[in-house]
Amino acid sequence: MRWILSMVLAFFLNYALLESNVQAASSSPYSGFQVVQTTQPFNSFAEQLTAAIKKNKMGLVAQACANCGAKSIGVTIPGNRVFMIFRPDFAVRMLAASEAAGIEAPLRLYVTEQADGNAQLSYRLPSHTFGDYNVPELDKLGAELDVIIAQIVNDALK
């Protein structure tokens, strides 16, 4: 029953996001790829996203900052950061369901600075990431993570 409620909630949260300011990206080879155009400056949104990740009890495993690396060699590029998030309890469940799926963790949220200085967020729905494995327990995990990611995005956009 809880799994069904999670699926329904995930659907409605994702639908609400799609209706507000998320669009499917046509440039991705992956199903479930989402793009969120924000009205927040890149650095501000990156801070909001970090806070939203913490608020929703996900771990910020790592960050990759392409513009930081470019700056270290004297090159300036627009803001570009990958937030890698996951949680130990999800990792244990994921690996119990499929060791091969371990390559999918941590999940990635990609923030890029647009020409107007505002941030754009791109990510793949976890239900699609884990759905590729055709393992029922991973399907449940992906649905739960869809709900959490949707809440992170909503909180970051506030």
- Answer whether residue 141 is part of any domain: yes
Nearest residue to 96 via CA among 132, 121, 68, 133: 133
- Answer whether residue 23 is part of any domain: no
Q: What is the pLDDT along the chain (158 residues), one digit of tens a residue?
A: 443 334 334 333 443 444 444 444 446 678 999 999 999 999 999 999 999 999 999 999 999 999 999 999 999 999 999 999 999 999 999 999 999 999 999 999 999 999 999 999 999 999 999 999 999 999 999 999 999 999 999 999 99
- Answer whether residue 27 is part of any domain: no
- Answer whether residue 57 is part of any domain: yes
Three-class secondary structure of residue 78 per DSSP: coil
How far, in Å, CA of 9 to CA of 153, rounded?
Answer: 15
Domain assignment of residue 99, given as a range = 2-18+33-157
CA dist list (Å): 77 to 65, 71, 109: 11, 8, 19
For the chain, the C-alpha Rg in angstroms (whole number) is 16
pTM for this predicted structure: 0.82
Q: DSSP labels for 128-149?
A: HHHHTT--HHHHHHHHHHHHHH
CATH number, domain of 116, equals: 3.30.310.70
- Answer whether residue 100 is part of any domain: yes
Domains held by the chain: number: 1
